[in-house]
C-alpha cells in the first residue's frame, strides 16, 4: 500500500487534457481501419468484401456508374482481417475524433478498377465520410471551447447521462465506466451519470437492441424531459455489430429512436466517447436555437416508429 501511495505522489495529477488539449497516449489505440491507398483492384475488393465478418466492407456501384469499395466505420469491429489481406489499401485508424452526427458520414469510399487486376483512379478516397477528420470539420478542441457555454445554457451547468444496455457484451460499459476514473474525470466537463430517465438529458445506448429490451428502451426515452438527446455508442448500437444477424436483433438504435450522435468502435475507447458526448451537447444547442425556445416532443414520434 505504501508503495502505491508514494508512486501517486511522485506522478502527480494524471488527468488527460483531452479534449481541451492533445492526448498523445490516445494515438496509440487502434479504433478501426481506414483507406490508405489510391485505389484497389476488383479482385482484392471482392476478397475484402467476403472476408469482413460484419459487412463493413462492400463492393458497390457509385453514382456515376464507377465501382468503389465502401468502408462503413460504424460497422467495423477492428478485427484487422482486412489489413492482413490488403495492407497496401488499408491501415489502422488512430484518430479519436470519430463521432458523427449523420450515419452516412461514417462511410468512406475507395475507387475500384473495372479490370480484374488494375487499380482505380488515383487521388485517395472518393467523396464520403472522412474517418480521420473532426466531425463536420470540427476538432475536439473546438467542441470543448463551446461546450461549457452550451451546457450551462441548456442544462444548468451539468448534463446528465442515462446509459441503457440494450444487449451488449459489456465491453462498451467498461469503457463508459472508465470515464469516471481520475484519468478521464468526466465530471470536470460537467457530465454526470444518472439512474433515472426523469433526470437525464442524454440517452447513451449500447449494445445491439434486442427484442427483450426494445420496449424498455422506448419507455426510458419517453420518460426523459426535453431537450433530450440520443447517442448510439459502439458498433452494435450503430449497426448491429457481430449480432446483426441474430434472430432477436431489432436494432440498430436509429431504427427505433432519432439518434443525434453516432460513436463507432468495438468498443469505443474513452477518448472517442468524450468526443461524441461533447458533440451531442453541441447538437442540442443548435436544435434549441433553431426551435427559438420551442422544443418538439419526439417521444410520440419514436413510439409510432416502433409500432410501425
Which pLDDT score is estimated for 240?
93
3-class DSSP state of 130:
coil
Least-confidence region, from 8-17, 94-103, 227-236: 8-17
Minimal CA–CA distance to 181: which of 296, 57, 274, 291? 274
Least-confidence region, from 26-30, 86-90, 115-119: 115-119
3-class DSSP state of 194:
coil
Identify whether the C-beta of residue 38 lies closer than 8 Å to the C-beta of residue 111. yes
**H or E stretch including 107?**
strand 107-111
Cβ-Cβ contacts under 8 Å for 140 (sequence gap 6 or more): 18, 19, 96, 97, 134, 274, 275, 278
Question: What phi, psi does 34 have (nearest 5°)?
Answer: -140, 160
Q: Which one-letter DSSP state was computed for residue 12?
A: -
Per-residue pLDDT at 302 exceeds 70: no
Binned at pLDDT 50, 70 and 90, residue 281 comes out as confident
- Residues 243-252: b if buried by 16+ CB within 10 A, e if exposed: bbeeeebbbb
Identify whether the C-beta of residue 197 lies closer than 8 Å to the C-beta of residue 162. yes
Binned at pLDDT 50, 70 and 90, residue 147 comes out as low
> Between helices 211-223 and 299-307, what is the axis angle to 10°?
160
Rg over CA atoms, the chain: 20
pTM of the model: 0.82
Q: What is the mean pLDDT of residues 143-159?
A: 60
Strand pairing category for 90-92 and 191-193: unpaired
How far, in Å, CA of 158 to CA of 148, rounded?
A: 9
How far, in Å, CA of 141 to CA of 227, rounded?
A: 24
Cα distances from 194 to residues 122, 168, 191, 257, 270, in angstroms, run: 50, 19, 10, 20, 18
How far, in Å, CA of 161 to CA of 197, rounded?
A: 9
How far, in Å, CA of 137 to CA of 27, rounded?
A: 19
Q: What is the mean pLDDT of residues 32-56?
A: 93
Q: Mean of the per-residue pLDDT values for the chain?
A: 81
Which pLDDT score is estimated for 132?
33
How do residues 103-140 score in pLDDT, each as one tens digit? 999 999 999 986 544 444 433 333 333 333 333 445 66
How far, in Å, CA of 44 to CA of 113, rounded?
A: 10
How far, in Å, CA of 64 to CA of 197, rounded?
A: 47
**H or E stretch including 229?**
strand 229-233
Query: CA quadruple 193, 197, 201, 205: dihedral positive or negative?
Result: positive
Binned at pLDDT 50, 70 and 90, residue 158 comes out as confident
Cβ-Cβ contacts under 8 Å for 224 (sequence gap 6 or more): 162, 197, 198, 200, 201, 203
**H or E stretch including 68?**
strand 67-72
Which pLDDT score is estimated for 289?
60
Amino acid at each position: 500500500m505504501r508503495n502505491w501511495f508514494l508512486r501517486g505522489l511522485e506522478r502527480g495529477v494524471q488527468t488527460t487534457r483531452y479534449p481541451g488539449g492533445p492526448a498523445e497516449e490516445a494515438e496509440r489505440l487502434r479504433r478501426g481501419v481506414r483507406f490508405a491507398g489510391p485505389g484497389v483492384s476488383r479482385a482484392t475488393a471482392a476478397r475484402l468484401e467476403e472476408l469482413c465478418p460484419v459487412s463493413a466492407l462492400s463492393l458497390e456501384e457509385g453514382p456515376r456508374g464507377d465501382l468503389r469499395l465502401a468502408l462503413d466505420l460504424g460497422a467495423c469491429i477492428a478485427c484487422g482481417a482486412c489489413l492482413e489481406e490488403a495492407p497496401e489499401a488499408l491501415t489502422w485508424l488512430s484518430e479519436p475524433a470519430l463521432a458523427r452526427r449523420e450515419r452516412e458520414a461514417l462511410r468512406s469510399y475507395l475507387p475500384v478498377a473495372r479490370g480484374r487486376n488494375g487499380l482505380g483512379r488515383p487521388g485517395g478516397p472518393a467523396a464520403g465520410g472522412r474517418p480521420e477528420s473532426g466531425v463536420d470539420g470540427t476538432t475536439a478542441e473546438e467542441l470543448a471551447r463551446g461546450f461549457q457555454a452550451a451546457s450551462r445554457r441548456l442544462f444548468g451547468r451539468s448534463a446528465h447521462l442515462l446509459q441503457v444496455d440494450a444487449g451488449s457484451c459489456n465491453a462498451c460499459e467498461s469503457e463508459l465506466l472508465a470515464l469516471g476514473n481520475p484519468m478521464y474525470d468526466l465530471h470536470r466537463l460537467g457530465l454526470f451519470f444518472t439512474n433515472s430517465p426523469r433526470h437525464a438529458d442524454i440517452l447513451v445506448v449500447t449494445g445491439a437492441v434486442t427484442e427483450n429490451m426494445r420496449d424498455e428502451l422506448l419507455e426510458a426515452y419517453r420518460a426523459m424531459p426535453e431537450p433530450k438527446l440520443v447517442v448510439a455508442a459502439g458498433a452494435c448500437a450503430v449497426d448491429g455489430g457481430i449480432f446483426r444477424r441474430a434472430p432477436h436483433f431489432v436494432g440498430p438504435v436509429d431504427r427505433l429512436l432519432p439518434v443525434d450522435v453516432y460513436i463507432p468502435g468495438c468498443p469505443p475507447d474513452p477518448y472517442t466517447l468524450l468526443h461524441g458526448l461533447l458533440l451531442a451537447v453541441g447538437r442540442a444547442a443548435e436544435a434549441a436555437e433553431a426551435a427559438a425556445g420551442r422544443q418538439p416532443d419526439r417521444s410520440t414520434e419514436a413510439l409510432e416508429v416502433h409500432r410501425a
